[in-house]
Amino acid sequence: MTYIVNGRSFDEEPAPGQCLRTFLRSLGHHGVKKGCDAGDCGACTVWLDGKPVHSCITPAFRADGHAVTTIEGIGAPGNLHPMQQQFRDAPGFQCGFCTAGMIMTSATFTEAQKADLPRALKGNLCRCTGYRAIEDAVKGVVGVETARPGKAVGTSVRAPAANDVVTGHAEFTMDTHIEGMLHLKVLHSPHAHARIVSIDKSAALAVPGVHRVYTWEDVPRKRFTTAIHTDHLVDPDDTFMLDNRVRFAGQRVAAVLADTPGAAEEGCRRVAVEYEVLPSVFDPEEAMAEGAPQLHGTNDPFVRDPVRNILLELHGHIGDIDAGFAEADVIHEGTYVSPRVQHAHLETHGSIAWMEDGRLNVRTSSQSPSIAKGKLAYLFALRPDQLRVFCKRVGGGFGGKQEVISEDLVALATLDTGRPVCLEYTREEEFTTASPRHPMALTIRLGARADGTLTAFQVRNVSNTGAYGNHGGETLYAGGAAVMIYRCPNKKYDAFSVYTNTVPSGALRGYGMTQPAFAVESAMDELARALHMDPCELRRRNVVRPGDPLVAMDDGPDDVTFTEDGLAKCIDLVDDALARTADEPPPGPGWLVGTGVASSVHETAPPTEHVSEAWVTLGDDLVYELAVGTVEFGEGTSTAHVQIAANQLGTTPSRIRLVQSDTDRTGFDTGAFASAGLFVSGNAVLRAANAVRDRILEFAAAHTGVHLVMCSMADESVVCGDQRVSLAELVALARGRGIRFTAARKAYGSPRSVTSNTQGFRIAVHQVTGEIRILRSVQATDAAVVINPAQVRGQVEGGVAQGIGFTLTENHHVDEDGVMVNPNLRNYRIPTYADVPRTDVLLVDSADSVGPLRSKGVAECCINPVAPALANALHDATDVRYRTLPLTPERIYSRLIEKQSVRTG
């Protein structure tokens, strides 16, 4: 067969049944991405004779004799296609994993298609941007700016990897080939709870190409937690790499190592496992009841109450809750339920391991290579110098890659065989085995005087941690942020993290606060209506303000500083914005219109220890090398770090060379999560850049004899009084004296501050179909000093879009046997372009007290108020309160019909 790919002919024979996507990648065209293998996401889009097709569902043989064009074939970093340039300059990407497919689709649009993007882009998904930036890119709107020397902060500069992302040259985890690489596939349990009686490997080992079959007997028998935190003691060591007891449908049972993925999959099918099926429990309230099946043994020191399946329980109070309710003129109580939802980052989990010079190298899709390295060293008894863990660009994370769940098996196989090994998750494995958001049920009881002053605030939170406790305790603690948002002298907080026979829950954007925010902010709205008070006014009267203690479970001291009145300002901005469209008519007959608001606060770093180290060095080429361990997966920290360094060094971002996320080439970094990528790592970058700047200025002052205070950085030179000395001269002089302009500095996640935000929606609801249309979306956020305005807007828009999915469409459906029944993007339903409105992003004018250059991270907190704001708008429109997510049309319709039936009696 003859294939013409990007103008070059190949005489190749694809494997029987091979799709065009895998065939093109085998030829080295790594810009063609894998997001679904089902034609759902569009990340694999290429042109076949000039027309866009999803290559994952196009058989390779159909391209025989036809012209195939990939993202690499339409332009290069120095010679961009117009659509590549538009995506670069909008910017129309965040993590960039979907970008090649988006560009290949968009570059074929007619003017009519550009005018109807909801239809034209229906085959391409983005989980990061919220689509507004993609729309801007398609329509040629320019959003990036050029920074002047020393003036990078506050400018929407281009991402360092922008040219590589839009041309398909940016390397993601699996975008490589190592000669002799073997492939791992995993056999998963069909049962929610069972003991493995026996495993017969013989038939699997007889499959041609199969090298090994690993079971629980072949791995280190060491307990660990897959969760990533600097302090591993905050998470329970309740997991084995492979176990002889399975606790959820989908748990790893065996791993098959083979020459090809197909051989490994066939090997998995032939592993014969005999199970003793055990009783299962899926509901956390039932799991805590007497007589429920026990998931973890009574001798497990990490479980608080194994008999009741409780991993952790929290109980705290302030004041006298009974006295507070006795004072109240109005009391509201309700239970609010949030479901299990998935991250759906388009790059699935994956890792590649190999030996080099006697050392284990692991290339992985992780939010923390430093912590991953520590866990692997523990599991395999390796010294730190025997192990390197690093990341290329990561295709989305949202907390889902704050786990070690693919690295351990590739490390095992490589250490065993000495061969390179890769493991790449399928989309189904993401849904059935990776760690989704914790389902929570929160009962909120509020008491208030007639004037709206809160007198009592009581919360009971039951969190379903699933079969294992990774993140189960920390997310429970994090929920206190939804309680500390309001002043109240009497508070009571009771929370339970409960084991069930379901997929282990984990970290997801909002981290334990999104679910409590839905509950608390919905309850506040209901309380306001019971008081016949405007919901915004009730919030204004009770929100915490500078000088107030931030208390949730107790009144003990903490390290959080709260010096800005950002939350009240956010409420005012959103209230004013919604008021300007209050008279907007419904879309037509049969539609009800309503408005809703909700607020949240978010600490700018996690309460557990968070550490980052940055190195800055001025090279002989007069480019500053900035080395920092933080991973880039679309949150924009790479751009912000470069801007901070350029700002302090008096230069432009183009003269900063970034090295990141590599344990051999960067210092320790806890990881990019909990907004710490800007707050903690950004402070480390700031301190390192300042140290190098000061060293250069001191050297220049001594060289020129000018007082230090008269010296300043000026891009490629230093100005000392009326003299200008080039950096080239200073570097040469310093080298002659054995001096290097370099520095390393650390930063820690303490003290911390608070980010505030308020979301507002104006929606229309159809009385017959239950359909929701979002007429207006606005979010105000207290980002303090904004490092990159375009990135801040993009993070908020992406967070709102993800929140809309969490609220309206996404649900992890599990049957009566604990098996997920919709493990694909098409049926899980993350938002498409047509589902997401434009969100007006309003920034509060403020400055942080402890953040780098007085800035704050906003990537995580923006999702928290979305669900309650939508639920409150739905109640305002229908006069029906919905306390269970998602707010699907059938759920809305059934309640509306129920209400109508009651009225007509």
Q: How confident is the model at residue 585 (pLDDT cuts 50, 70, 90)?
A: confident
When pLDDT is cut at 50, 70 and 90, the band that residue 827 belongs to is very high
Does pLDDT of 684 surpass 80?
A: yes
pLDDT digits (tens, 9 = 90+) for 256-282: 999 999 999 999 999 999 999 999 999
Nearest residue to 484 (alpha-carbon basis) of 556, 557, 554, 550: 550
Query: What is the 3-state composition of the chain as percent helix, strand, coil, each rounded to the nearest 5?
Result: 30, 25, 45
What separation in angstroms does the CA of 802 have from each of 61, 99, 365, 513, 862? 38, 18, 21, 15, 10
Helices assigned H by DSSP within 177-239: 202-205
Place 320 in a pLDDT band, splitting at 50, 70 and 90.
Answer: very high
Q: What is the mean pLDDT of the chain?
A: 96
Rounded Cα–Cα distance for residues 390 and 400 (Å): 17
Tell me the DSSP string of 414-455.
HHHHSS-EEEE--HHHHHHHS--PPPEEEEEEEEE-TTS-EE
Of 71, 166, 129, residue with least CA distance to 636:
129
Nearest by Cα to 760 from 835, 867, 869, 839: 869
- Beta-bridged to residue 765, according to DSSP, are 592, 772
Beta strand 359-364 with 387-390: parallel, antiparallel or unpaired? parallel
- Is the per-residue pLDDT at 2 higher than 90? no
Contact partners, residue 81, CB within 8 Å, separation at least 6: 74, 75, 103, 107
Gap between the Cα atoms of 726 and 146, Å rounded: 23
Beta carbons within 10 angstroms of residue 457's beta carbon: 30
> What is Dmax (Cα atoms) for the chain?
94
Average pLDDT over residues 154-166: 97
Average pLDDT over residues 163-188: 97
For the entire predicted model, the pTM comes to 0.96
Of 350, 505, 504, 338, give the one whose Cα is nearest residue 427.
350
For 327-356, how does the pLDDT look when each residue is reduced to its tens digit (9 = 90+)? 999 999 999 999 999 999 999 999 999 999
Question: What does the alpha-carbon distance between residue 484 and residue 187 come to, in Å, rounded to a whole number?
Answer: 44
Using a pLDDT cut of 70, give the percent of the chain over it: 99
More confident residue, 467 or 903: 467
Torsion of CA 414, 419, 424, 426, to 10 degrees: -100
Which pair of structure tokens corresponds to residue 718? 């230093």
Asked if the model's pLDDT at residue 10 lies above 90, the reply is no
**CA–CA dist 509, 631 (Å, integer):** 16
The amino acid present at 308, given as its one-letter code, is R
Look up tokens 């929140």; give the residue: 803
- Whole-number Å distance between alpha carbons of 243 and 226: 14
pLDDT at 565 over 90: no
Q: What is the pLDDT of residues 282-307, one digit of tens each?
A: 999 999 999 999 999 876 667 888 88
Confidence of residue 558 (pLDDT cuts 50, 70, 90): confident
Residue 464 identity (one-letter amino acid):
N
